[in-house]
A and B are shown apart, each in its own frame.
Chain A
Amino acid sequence: MRRRLAPYLLILPGGLWLLIFFVVPMVAMVSVSLQSGSLESGFSQTFSVGTYADMISTYSTQLVRSLVYGAVCTVITIVLAYPMAYWIAFNGGRHKSTYLFLILLPFFVTFVIRTISWQFLLADNGLVLGPLKNLGVLPENFHVLATSTAVIGGLVYNFLPFMVLPIYVALERIDKVLVEAASDLYASKVEVFRRVVLPLSLPGVFAGVILTFVPAAADYVNATILGGSGQVMIGNIIETLYLTNSQYPQAAALSSILLAALLIGIFAYARVLGTKDVMDASAG
C-alpha cells in the first residue's frame, strides 16, 4: 500500500502547483472571456459567446498575420538550421558541444536586450544601414525597421536555436553504419541523404517546428520593438486589451482563441508524431 502511495506523494507538491497555477488558470481565462461589462461598471458572468465572434471579425487581420509570420519564420529557420545541424552532427568531431554552446550563446542575454540590439543595428542610420547609405549603395530613405522583414528577421534570430537543437539531436542519433551501408550499396550521396538521413532526422524537424512556430506566432516583443503600425500581431492586441484598456473579457476571448488554435494544432501534430522528441529537445 505504501509503495503504491509513494509516487503520488512525490508528485503532490509540484502537481498541485501545476494544477492551481497552470490548469485552473486556463479555465479561469475561458470564464473571464464569457463575462460582460467594463472596469467602471463591473464584470458579470453572462456566458455570452458573442465576444468570440466579435474578436475574430475585429482582429482577423492580426490573427492571420501572426499565423503567417509564425509559418514564414518556421520555414526560414528550418532552411537555416538544417545544414548547420547536419554539419555539426556529422563533421563536428570532438568540438560538437562547443558548437552547440556557441549556438546557445544568445540565450545568455535577455530576450528583450537581444531584440533591442537588432533595433539598434537596423536603425535607419545605424551600424548597418548608415555606412551603406553614406557609400550611396542604398537610397537615403531606405529603411528596414517597421517592415515585416525586420519583424520576421527578429523572430528567426530569436528562435533559430530552438530549431537547430532538436534537428541536431535527431541527426546525432543516426547510426553512422546505416549511412555507410547505403553508400556501400552504391547509393549516391544525394540518395543516401534523401533515403536514409532525411527520413531519420524528420522527428527532430517536427519537434523544432512546434518549438519555433508556437512562440513565434504568439510573440509581440519583436513586433513592438522592430515593427511599426503595419506589423501589429495578435499578442500586441492581447497585451493592450489586458494591460492598457482593461477590457478583460475581450482580451481573454482573444487569448483563448489563440491558445485553442495553437493547442489543437499541437495535439493533432503530437498525436501523429509523438511528444517524446519535443520533451527530449527541451531536456537536452
Chain B
Amino acid sequence: MTPPLVEEDARQPTPHRRRTRRVRDERGWALRAYTWIVIAWLSLPILVMVLFGFNDTSGKFNFVWQGWTLRWYRELFDINDLTTALSNSLSIAVIVTVASALMGTLIGYAMGRHNFRGKGMLNVVLFANLAAPEIAMGTGLLSLFLTLGIPRGYWTVVIAHIMFCIVYVAITVQARMASYDRSLEEAAQDLGAGPFTTFRLVTLPILMPGVIAGSLLAFALSIDDFIITEFNAGSTQTFPLWVYGSSRVGTPPQVNVMGTLVFAFGIALVLINTAVLRRQRRKVMVS
C-alpha cells in the first residue's frame, strides 16, 4: 500500500521508528485487556450488591440466588432501625456538606490568594489531616469527648465529619485558585465594587466548580464514613454502622437496595455536574 518513495525514505533516517510503533500497539493491546480485567474486578462487588437486591430470598439470609423479585424495593423501609440509620446518614451528610463547604472554601481561597504568616503551619495541619489514619482521628476525638464528659451521639458525628471534610474542600478550592487571575479582582475594585461585592460577583463564580467538586466529595465521604463515626456515634446508628453490625448476623436484602439507590444517586450527581460543566465551557468558548 505504501508508495515506494516513502518506503525508501523510511529506511534511511529512522528505521527504528516503525518498529517502535508496532511494538507499542502490541503492548497496548495487552495493557488494554489488563485494564479492563481490573475494572471488571473492581466492579464485581457492586454487581453482586445490585443483583442480590432483587433476590427472592425467604429468610433473613441473602446468600443463595432464588430468582427475581421487586419485594425488597416495596418493603424497603420495613426495618425501622435501618431506615432510621439511613435517614441519619443522609441528614448528617447534608449538614456536614454545607458547613464544610463554607469553612473549607474560605481556607482554600485564603491559601490560594494570600501570603501570610502561619500559612506553612496551616499547610502542615491540612496535610496531617489527610495523611493521618482515620482510627487516630476517631480515637483522638473520642478521647477529647471523654475528657470533657461530652456524651457521644448525632452531633458528635456531625462535628467529626466536618473536621475531615473541611480539608478536602479547602484543597479542591485551593487547586482551583492556581489558575486564578488576581487582576480580575482589581478590575472589579477599580470599577467601584467593595470587597464583598467583588467576592460575590467575581471570585465566587470562578471558584464555583472547585466548591461544587469539594462539596460532592464531602457528601460522599460523610455518607460513607465508618471508622471515625464508629468511635464517636455512641448509640446513634448511621447506615454504615448498621450494616457493619448486621454483617455478623446476616445482611438483609434491604441493605443491598439502599446501597444500590445511594450508588445510583451518586452516579447521577456526578454525571449532572460533568454535563453542566461541559455546557458552561462550551458557552464560554462561543462567547
Contacts and interface: CB of A to CB of B under 8 A. Distances in A.
Contacts of A1: none
A225 B226 CA distance: 13
A231 interface: no
B240 A112 contact: yes
A264 B141 CA distance: 20
A150 to B, nearest CB: 13
Given A117-B49, A189-B24, A280 B175 contact: yes
Contact of B28 (A84, A91, A113): A91
A113 B255 contact: yes
Contacts of B109: 10
Interface string B72-88: 00000000000000000
A278 B118 CA distance: 21
Contact of B135 (A14, A238, A278, A283): A238
Contact of B49 (A107, A109, A280): A109
B107 A10 contact: yes
Contact of A11 (B23, B39, B107, B143): B107
A6 B107 CA distance: 11
B92 interface: no
A148 interface: no
Contacts of B52: 120
Contact of A189 (B23, B240, B244): B23
A99 interface: yes
B31 A91 contact: yes
29 contacts: A10-B109, A11-B107, A14-B107, A15-B122, A21-B163, A22-B129, A28-B143, A28-B144, A29-B143, A29-B144, A31-B147, A84-B35, A86-B31, A108-B46, A108-B263, A116-B251, A118-B45, A160-B42, A214-B131, A214-B132, A220-B227, A225-B247, A239-B135, A258-B136, A259-B140, A262-B132, A282-B130, A282-B168, A283-B175
A86 to B, nearest CB: 7
B253 to A, nearest CB: 12
Interface string A33-65: 000000000000000000000000000000000
Most buried by B among A7, A24, A26: A7
Interface of B: 14, 16-17, 20, 23-24, 28, 31-32, 34-35, 38-39, 41-46, 48-49, 52, 63, 102-104, 106-107, 109-111, 113-114, 116, 118-119, 122-123, 125-137, 139-144, 146-147, 159-160, 162-164, 166-168, 170-172, 174-175, 220, 223-224, 226-227, 230-231, 239-240, 243-244, 247, 251, 255-256, 259, 262-263, 266-267, 270
B219 to A, nearest CB: 11
A123 to B, nearest CB: 7
For the residues of B in contact with A, the DSSP-based class is: helix
Contact of A32 (B44, B136, B147, B160): B147
A167 interface: no
Given A14-B106, A183-B16, A120 B63 contact: yes
Interface residues on A, range: 35 or more
**Which residue of B107, B130, B143 has the most chain A CB atoms within 10 A of its CB atom?**
B143
A126 B35 CA distance: 26
Given A108-B46, A258-B136, A280-B175, 14 more contacts: A11-B110, A17-B103, A26-B136, A86-B31, A106-B46, A116-B247, A157-B45, A160-B42, A184-B14, A225-B244, A255-B140, A262-B133, A279-B171, A283-B175
Q: Which 10 A-B pairs have the closest CB atoms?
A: A117-B45, A218-B133, A25-B140, A14-B103, A10-B110, A7-B114, A87-B31, A259-B136, A283-B175, A28-B144
Interface in A242-284: 242-243, 248, 251-252, 255, 258-259, 262-263, 266, 270, 275, 278-280, 282-284
A106 B134 CA distance: 19
A157 B38 CA distance: 10
B48 A121 contact: yes
Given A29-B139, A103-B39, A242-B231, A11 B131 contact: no
Contacts of B42: 102-103, 105-106, 157, 160-161
A111 to B, nearest CB: 6
Nearest to A31: B147
